[in-house]
């Protein structure tokens, strides 16, 4: 049986805290247990309910590789740049 894009994905998550300049974000490394991710391991910076833009997510064939890929991508980037800008809602 092959996975389709609509199949549910199940991941195991390992959470890291990344602290820089007195500010913290989380990096969740997802290991695909069922379904397909972009890679067997995907590291996703987040602020609980705000997920980093895709270009700052790391991928790899191991937890360490995905985490290192992510850390390289966010190393010199301001936290505000990592996350999508909030769309303003029009006034009624």
pLDDT for 36-45, tens place per residue?
999 999 999 9
For residue 41, being part of any structural domain is answered with yes
Domains in the chain: how many in total? 1
CA atoms lying within 13 Å on the CB side of residue 12: 5
> At residue 65, does pLDDT exceed 80?
yes
Instruction: Please check the confidence at residue 6 and state whether its pLDDT lies above 90.
Output: no
Residue 89 lies in a domain: no
Nearest to 19 by CA among 60, 54, 71, 58: 71
- 92 falls within a domain: no
Note whether residue 91 is domain-resident. no
| pTM score above 0.85 | no
Phi, psi dihedrals of residue 86, rounded to the nearest 5° = -75, 130
pLDDT tens digits, residue range 15-52? 999 999 999 999 999 999 999 999 999 999 999 889 99
Residue 18 lies in a domain: yes
How many whole angstroms separate alpha carbon 27 and alpha carbon 13? 10
Count of beta carbons in the 10 Å neighbourhood of residue 18:
15
Residue 1 within a domain: no
Residue 40's domain comprises 10-82
């Amino acid at each position: 049986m092959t996975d389709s894009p609509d199949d549910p994905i199940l991941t195991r998550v390992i959470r890291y805290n990344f602290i820089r300049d007195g500010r913290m974000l989380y990096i969740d490394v997802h290991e695909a247990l069922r379904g397909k991710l972009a890679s067997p391991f995907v590291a996703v910076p987040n602020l609980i309910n705000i997920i980093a833009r895709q270009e700052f997510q790391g991928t790899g064939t191991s937890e360490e590789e995905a985490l290192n890929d992510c850390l390289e991508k966010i190393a010199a980037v301001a936290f505000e740049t990592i996350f999508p800008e909030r769309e303003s809602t029009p006034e009624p």
